[in-house]
Amino acid sequence: MTLALGSARTNAQDLIAVGFSGGAVEVFSLEPVTGSVVPLVATGAADADGGWTALDRAGRRLFFQSSGGQLYTVSLSTGIVTQAPLATCCYFLEYDRQAATLLGVGFQGGQVEVFGLNPSTGAATPLIATGAPDADGGWTAFDAVGRRLFFQSTNNQLYTVNLQNNTVTQAPLAACCYFLEYDQQAATLLGVGFQGGQVEVFGLNPSTGAATPLIATGAPDADGGWTAFDAVGRRLFFQSTNNQLYTVNFQNNTVTQAPLAACCYFLQFGTGAVAAVPTTSRAALLLVIVALGIVAIVVLHR
């Protein structure tokens, strides 16, 4: 029997932030109301190249890459970090929960290709060649129900890769580029862009490329395009270069902000608490272990 004693932890918030601490990449839990951060897992990675991350919400695994060509898997259940070598770096990452597959949007044969990545080995299996010349900024989104991957090219085209039927379609955008998220409840592709001197959230039509303004946020910018979306609460999160964390609530059409000690984090939304034995329970656990040992000795000597 293996027993792991972790550090005591309160029930962590669900906004996951990948940042830098002590000379290495660290995973934090980020509180949107106050902007406070709670360290969860120190990964040992030197960097998280590009900020391209993905989250397996069911398996509670966070994925990111380093510029040294390593794919990192962080278990948010155990705090265990593993890594595997990639043939090339770096992919823009999404997670297909229906296929239980980590997707990597990369480049092969002069075009953008979607790969299936093996987190244990780093092996990349080509899935769909898209015909796109590039995937600008690595800003992608994924429709988990319809299994559609969205990305943009620098020639102002919005691409939709349908993994259900292996088709690729494209539509012209009036401007490039948006930071993308997908609102599952509203079945809407969201684009975080700029209009009227501030950050605005748009609804994007993948068939036509039309952009419908939804909410003006008042933010001066959305640094790096590192966003996250709460599919249940319908909240969009992004950061500005003046160290503010913005929360856009689509349930009540409100925008709030909180100060961050530093900017900026690579964001994901999902269950963030690392499973750990509370400090107050350690004495009781040790007593159980001792008791089991005594019982075993008694049985052996009978």
Which pTM was predicted? 0.86
pLDDT of the residue at 61? 97
φ, ψ of residue 3 to 5 degrees: the values are -120, 125
pLDDT of the residue at 257? 97
Tell whether the model's pLDDT for residue 275 goes beyond 60: no
* 18-56: pLDDT as tens digits: 999 989 999 999 999 999 999 999 999 999 988 799 999
Tokens of 75: 């278990």
Task: Please state, as a whole number, how many other Cβ atoms lie within 10 Å of the Cβ of residue 176.
Answer: 16
Q: Which residue has the higher pLDDT, 116 or 89?
A: 116
As a whole number, the mean pLDDT across the chain is 87
Pick from 266, 265, 273: nearest CA to 41 = 273
Tokens of 82: 């593993």
**Residue 103 and residue 95: Cα distance in Å, rounded?**
6
Residue entry with tokens 């890594």: 83
Instruction: Enumerate domains of the chain plus CATH numbers.
Output: 15-300 (2.130.10.10)
pLDDT of the residue at 263? 75
pLDDT of the residue at 289? 36
Pick from 188, 70, 168: nearest CA to 113 = 168
pLDDT of the residue at 32? 95
Q: How far is CA 77 from the centre of its chain?
A: 16
